[in-house]
Amino acid sequence: MHLTLEDIRQLEKRHRANLINSITGVKSANLIGTRNKECNTNLSVVSSVVHLGSNPALIGYIQRPRGVERHTFENIISTKKYTINSINSAITYPAHKTSARYPREKSEFEETGLTPEWLNDFYAPFVKESNIKIAMELVEVIPIPMNDTELVVGKVLEIYFPSAIYKTDGHLAVYETGTVGISGLDTYLSTEKIARYSYAKPDEPIIEI
């Protein structure tokens, strides 16, 4: 099937959102935890978390346009602290439920049954049910003028994970602990390792490691 720019433009809005959110393939599935200055917690599912660099360790995510209420983003701006928590197959339902537009005074933790966890005096809440938990500090918000979205850049401060998935060379086998992916806006995918390959060099064969 072949769709042109004009075909895509003419799609009904929700249909187009489903399609364009799907075409990039598997997306990461995370929950961003925050707490505002009044100590109300907030939790939000995101599928746009992206690795920016390892030294310093930087992670970004795409923030949707201003205009609607954006509790998570407001909390990040005002406190500079947030957490990124992996979604696993046991919590896809409550994770998806965090995407409902709850009023500002409601906490998605209470509304979805996910458990806030406070670790090492960090200001923002982690998700107890998650396997990989990252404490983040806001570094910069970079505007994407074309569509009024923003790239929120944060620095990794701390990481929590099960030691069983930590390989000797630093690789974290997140797929061994039920970490899921997201397809499109609303579909959760389990993952399974097919192959791990050696570092690719032009004149050397790649081997499975």
Residues 4-43 that bind a second copy (CB under 8 A): 4-5, 8, 11-30
Q: Which one, 37 or 68, has the nearer CB to a second copy? A: 68
The yes or no reply on residue 57 touching a second copy (CB under 8 A) is yes
The yes or no reply on residue 181 touching a second copy (CB under 8 A) is yes
Q: Which of residues 115-154 bind a second copy (CB under 8 A)?
A: 119-120, 132, 134, 139-140, 142, 144-147, 149, 151, 153
Query: Using a CB cutoff of 8 Å and minimum separation of 24, what contacts does 47-54 make?
Result: 47/21, 47/182, 49/84, 52/153
What is the end-to-end Cα distance of the chain in Å, rounded? 37
In angstroms, what is the minimal distance from the CB of 154 to a second copy?
Answer: 10
In angstroms, what is the minimal distance from the CB of 156 to a second copy?
Answer: 7
Distances (CA, A) of 68 to 63, 71, 82, 118: 12, 9, 20, 29
84, 114, 127, 152: which one contacts a second copy (CB under 8 A)?
Answer: 84
Q: Which one, 13 or 37, has the nearer CB to a second copy? A: 13
The yes or no reply on residue 3 touching a second copy (CB under 8 A) is yes
Q: Which one, 47 or 72, has the nearer CB to a second copy? A: 47
Q: Which candidate, 38, 37, 119, places its Cα nearest to that of 85?
A: 119
Give the CA count within 13 Å in the CB-facing half-sphere of 44: 27
Q: Which candidate, 70, 80, 68, places its Cα nearest to that of 141?
A: 80
**Rounded to whole angstroms, how far apart are CA atoms 153 and 136?**
9
81, 98, 122, 127: which one contacts a second copy (CB under 8 A)?
Answer: 98
The yes or no reply on residue 63 touching a second copy (CB under 8 A) is no
Residues touching a second copy: how many (CB under 8 A)? 114
The yes or no reply on residue 68 touching a second copy (CB under 8 A) is no
| Exposed e or buried b per residue across 86-122, where buried means at least 16 C-beta atoms within 10 angstroms of its C-beta | bbbeebbebbbbbeeebeeeebbbeebebebbeeeeb
- Whether 112 and 97 have beta carbons less than 8 Å apart is answered as yes
Q: Which of residues 183-202 bind a second copy (CB under 8 A)?
A: 183-202
In angstroms, what is the minimal distance from the CB of 110 to a second copy?
Answer: 12
Residues linked to residue 86 through DSSP beta bridges, in sequence order:
30
34, 41, 44, 47: which one contacts a second copy (CB under 8 A)?
Answer: 47
In angstroms, what is the minimal distance from the CB of 207 to a second copy?
Answer: 10
**Rounded to whole angstroms, how far apart are CA atoms 90 and 131?**
11
